[in-house]
Structure 1
Amino acid sequence: MALKVITAWGLVVFVGLLVGIILWKILTGKIDLTKLVSETNGDASMSRFQFLVFTFVIVLMWVYLFFYNGDGKFPDIPPGVLGLMGISGGSYVVSKGIQKSFESEQATADTRRSNVIAGGAVNAPPPPPAPPQID
């Protein structure tokens, strides 16, 4: 029993130190968070923000329950909460899929426009064969 408690507290201290180091690096500017919830074009991503906030809330509640119980046991995470985290992560994945599909369609449309402007025809049928020569 004592080994479990010591291991649990060791893990909590280790994670706490990691969090402290990360927060220190964020505050000193060594870790840049400007693109944390933004897309590649700079727009805000609601799905990223939702996933980030939901994850922080679950982790903070889990740590709170660990200290509130005071028995050195990690609290169980209810399956419903894990399901909600899966849905939240899934919404992010779906939004990325939609975004990539839209970007792919835009690239195809841009290529077609470039071909038309350059004098080429997009998906044009091949030219008819030359008529036979009669001598």
Structure 2
Amino acid sequence: MIKRNSGIIVNISSGLGYAKVPYLTAYSASKAYINHLTNILRTEYSNSGITIQTLCPLMVSTNMSKKGESIFILNVKKMVESAIKTIGISDECSGTIAHQIQSSIFGLPQFILDFGAKFQVQAFKKFADAEREKASKQQ
């Protein structure tokens, strides 16, 4: 890519890379790392002709999310089709207009996000406990 003075790198992160998410600590932290890594690479290769973008979708209908499709939850194919259209337009995006609107919440002050997260802790804890129990039964 450097020799050609062109190329595209899209690193897939998540909106959860911007949030403190109890019981999804490793996932959230790994996505924050991807965001940071991509920002550094973008700076390092800023004059190379390489487009480097971070895709930070919110909920997508996958085996991991176990969620069905809705206006805010797209299937993977629709997410990819939408996200491809953003390459070269912005350094970082959520991939869809619906997710971009939802992502605006991450611009709120951290103490407000933390306060809101307290109300979600119980739901995440129940999810994590159920996953642990399911995993222990499979062993």
Instruction: Please tell me the TM-score bracket, short chain as reference.
Output: under 0.3
TM score, norm. by length of structure 2: 0.26
Q: Which is bigger in relative contact order (C-alpha 8 A, separation at least 6)?
A: 2
User: Which has more strand, going by share of residues?
Assistant: 2
TM score, norm. by length of structure 1: 0.26
Larger radius of gyration: 1
